[in-house]
Structure 1
């Protein structure tokens, strides 16, 4: 057993596999989105950012999934344009996210609300 464990620990891909497994599971820094806990309004001036730097998007044919803050979120393919700037560790105006994705401001706010509810994103005017 010791020999097998030594072989596994000697694998040059071990650290890369570990970090891949941990991506998306890292819990973000908890920040309340006061007063927007119950609902993110369709206010283009609100700023949005993820609470974790280790979010992992996965773009499929029919869905886009985002693993962040220990949860997995599933969205329609159009959401990739909203998620990409956030995954790139940027703080972005809600209006810019909606424009980039070609979505109505209300739809972008709904997507962000799902991330806020899952503690994967934070919104506010002073971010």
Structure 2
């Protein structure tokens, strides 16, 4: 932590900005994590095997890596994965830390810097602040406006999703507990 003071008793304003680089090395580190889903990349290396067996192992690794690197959506997938890990500012939902009340007038918004909403047939996932939340498909109507950066009343979310206000409050409570959302009447 840096310490800054104004010179000669005058007022001073200081701004600190942090930037997250995304280099080819960062991409390759992420790709190496993706490779762990393939059994051939988790297998022990044939360190004591004959040279032809070692060459075959390296050739197999090369082919799997080339498959991933040849994917034209690789950088877009990497970006989406990084967006889902971006941490926002912690904004406590005082006084609603333990329980989000069933109050349609309460407003909710995500505090994560960026959130990624992914919808597949049988589930909806929200990736925010490094955590992945899984919900039933009906939750998409609740999560979509939040992932789009909007601040919305709980009643509006319940109406849009066709869900009971109690269910929406419980879903939002899960996000508040994970520190990726905040609720309040003055948001």
Question: How does the TM-score come out when normalised to structure 2?
Answer: 0.59
Residue of structure 1 in register with 2:156 after alignment: 96
Q: Number of aligned pairs?
A: 119
Q: 1:18: how far off?
A: 4.3
In structure 1, which of residues 40, 47, 52 is the aligned counterpart of residue 112 of structure 2? Answer: 52
* Structure 1 CA distance for aligned equivalents of residues 73 and 125 of structure 2: 25
Contact in 1 for aligned 2:125/2:132 (Cα 8 Å): yes
Contact in 1 for aligned 2:87/2:113 (Cα 8 Å): no
Q: 1:16: how far off?
A: 4.3
* Structure 2 CA distance for aligned equivalents of residues 76 and 16 of structure 1: 25
Residue of structure 2 in register with 1:35 after alignment: 95
- 1:2-49 CA-to-partner distances (Å, cap 9, x unmatched) read xxx8xx8xxx98864542331110011110001110010110010100
Residue of structure 1 in register with 2:147 after alignment: 87
Q: Secondary structure at the match of 2:167?
A: helix
> Any stretches of 5+ residues in structure 1 without a counterpart?
none
Between Structure 1 and Structure 2, the one with more strand by share is 1
Residue of structure 2 in register with 1:64 after alignment: 124
Change (3 A) 1:45 1:27: same
Question: How does the TM-score come out when normalised to structure 1?
Answer: 0.85
Q: 1:53: how far off?
A: 3.8
* Structure 2 CA distance for aligned equivalents of residues 74 and 123 of structure 1: 20
- Which structure is richer in relative contact order (CA contacts within 8 A, separation 6 or more)? 1
Q: Secondary structure at the match of 1:26?
A: coil
Give the superposed CA RMSD. 2.1
Contact in 1 for aligned 2:80/2:116 (Cα 8 Å): no
